[in-house]
Chain A
Amino acid sequence: MNSIPGNMDTEKKDVLSEIANIGSGHAATALAALLNRPIVQSVPNVMLIPLADMPNQLGGAEKIVVAGLLDITGDLSGFFMVVLDQVQADRIISMMLGKRYRKRKADTVRRYSSVEKSVIAETVNILGGSYMTALSEMTGLKTQPSTPYLCIDMVGAVLNVAIAEAGKAGDFAVFFQSELFNEKERIIGDLFLIPDRSSCDKILQSLGFE
């Protein structure tokens, strides 16, 4: 497969979107159980986008985010990422720890305690684990997610490792994006699966596509 954006045909894109849908559906269910409240997901987006446009997809390169990353290895390889803005991260922390949610200035970087960091890391772990398990069940491909890595920084910088990996295959990245919402339609966060290029082909092949 080469790197021309037009060559992902509609049928393949639909199949990959369905994979993303099932993955993030499972992740939403797991998060709902964890937070003890209903979580719904958006219709996922499978995109083939130029590397340089990836940060714009998430609100611009300089937006400060709390991001969790899992390295995916095995039959498929790539990254699973959860990107939260700081307000979203605070909400998850307050829901998990049963603390009252306090509002803060949006543009300052807050220091998280080790308990708060592990809350976010565990959330990322559960989201990624359930997403990848669903994907494995559907495709028969086995994957091993790493332990979660956390980073609080500009979104462009945070995405850099995934962009660099995708950049080895071409000038475009395949990006499975899903959004999770809670009952008040407030967005909980963005989930991404960024498979490397051969992994995308493997997913399609496992489902009977050439």
Chain B
Amino acid sequence: MSINSHAVDIAMMKIARAPDQLYSLGLGSCIGVAIYDPVTRIGGLIHILLPTLQGFENGNHARTKFADSGITDLVDALVKAGASRSRLKAKMAGGASMFTMKSTSDVHEVGKRNIQSSKDTLKKLGIELVAQDTGGNKGRTIYFDLETGKMTIKTVDRAVKVI
């Protein structure tokens, strides 16, 4: 069987099965949340830009842009694709503050709010967050391997991390 890698761009989610891989390049304040069923090895990755849909309901917005609506939709899509709701686990990475200076502006806090909202949403949905690599001030590229359920995280000047 050939292995395919699928790019997951900003405000997008994708679902794949082992042995495929899902990846997102250059996450800054964005978060990549991978949710998977370790038995059927069906999983999905979502590339979240903003913490919450609240206040944006009337706009022309993709639901997958936001942590709360996006993660909820990803879980629904996984169950539809044949994953078991009760076996779902999550891993996530991202949420950096790239320009960390003495900023008083809350636009630079979006990473932190993305982390919090992703965690809250997972908790609300009863999905265990088994591993994470979040915060800091470095960009990340992430690969999620459906075969192993491992997330590989690359940063520009540090060692590759696997969670």
Contacts and interface: CB of A to CB of B under 8 A. Distances in A.
B50 A167 contact: yes
A161 B108 contact: yes
B56 A168 contact: yes
A164 interface: yes
User: Which 6 A-B pairs rank lowest in CB-CB distance, beginning with the nearest?
Assistant: A156-B26, A157-B139, A160-B28, A61-B26, A157-B28, A149-B99
Identify which of A4, A60, A158 gathers the most chain B CB atoms within 10 Å of its CB: A158
Q: Is chain A's binding surface mostly helix, strand, loop or mixed?
A: mixed
Interface residues of A, number: 37
B34 to A, nearest CB: 18
Nearest to A69: B99
B60 A170 contact: yes
B77 interface: no
Interface string A147-185: 101111111111111011101111100000000000000
Given A156-B25, A156-B27, A163 B49 contact: yes
Nearest to B66: A167
Given A73-B105, A147-B101, A163-B10, 5 more contacts: A109-B157, A154-B28, A156-B27, A164-B49, A167-B65
Contacts of B27: 156-157, 160
A167 B110 CA distance: 12
A119 interface: no
Interface of B: 9-12, 25-30, 49-50, 56, 59-62, 65, 96, 98-101, 103, 105, 107-108, 110, 137-141, 156-157
Nearest to A147: B101
Contact of B139 (A51, A52, A154, A170): A154
Nearest to A51: B10
12 contacts: A52-B11, A71-B107, A146-B103, A147-B101, A153-B138, A157-B140, A160-B27, A160-B30, A160-B96, A163-B10, A167-B11, A167-B50
A119 B86 CA distance: 55
Contacts of B101: 147, 149
A159 B28 contact: yes
A81 to B, nearest CB: 10
Given A150-B99, A157-B28, A164 B107 contact: yes
A104 to B, nearest CB: 14
Given A156-B27, A167-B65, A151 B99 contact: yes
B9 A52 contact: yes
A62 B26 contact: yes
Given A154-B26, A155-B26, A167-B50, A161 B99 contact: yes
A161 B107 contact: yes
Nearest to B96: A157
A36 interface: no
Contacts of A164: 29-30, 49-50, 107, 110
Interface in A23-70: 51-52, 55, 60-62, 64, 69
Contact of A52 (B12, B100, B138): B12
Contacts of B138: 153, 157
Contacts of B59: 3, 169-170
Contacts of B9: 52
B49 to A, nearest CB: 5
A159 B11 CA distance: 14
A2 B58 CA distance: 11
